[in-house]
Amino acid sequence: MKITEITRKDENTIQKVSFIWEKSVRATHLFLTEDDMADISKDVDEALASVPTLLTAENEDSESVAFMGIDGDRLEMLFLLPEERGQGIGKKLMRHAIDKYSVKRLCVNEQNTAALGFYEHMGFKVYKRTERDEQGNPFPLLYMKLK
């Protein structure tokens, strides 16, 4: 697996990463309705383009299979193709984020229990909970810090 920082966020790159986002969210965010997905997906390309640090993970065939976005010491997003889960890619990305970018904080949807367990396994601990997400939707968020 190769981790690459994206320096040029052109339309093709955003499209590839957005595809990973959608496949991942459909597999892991089962609490979202189709209407929720449609509403959220409107902002995905802009979020990807505006996150200060965007990294992709490529397999041995040079295909992007995961990505993460970082802003300062906060992980803003981490998504993997569903078929790539359980192969250590997320763990490698998180180690890279912690070691190279000093990531110490993140937030996760409370209903995404697999992600919550993953972040806890990586050493993060919940310090705050909100009833709504950052866009005001009724999806509780858990804010976590690295222990």
Tell me the domains of the chain and their CATH numbers.
2-106 (3.40.630.30)
Partners of residue 76 on adjacent β-strands: none
pLDDT, position 122: 96
Q: Identify whether the C-beta of residue 14 lies closer than 8 Å to the C-beta of residue 54.
A: no
Q: Which residues of the chain register pLDDT less than 70?
A: none
| Alpha carbons within 13 A on the beta-carbon side of 84 | 24
pLDDT, position 30: 86
pLDDT, position 88: 93
Q: Identify whether the C-beta of residue 90 lies closer than 8 Å to the C-beta of residue 106.
A: no
Both tokens of 125, joined, read 């601990």
pLDDT, position 135: 84
pLDDT, position 63: 92
pLDDT, position 92: 96
Cα 136–chain centre separation: 19
pLDDT, position 139: 93
Q: What angle do CA 17, 56, 126 make, to 5 degrees?
A: 90
pLDDT in tens, 12-53: 999 999 999 999 999 999 889 999 899 888 889 999 999 999
What pTM was estimated for this model as a whole?
0.92
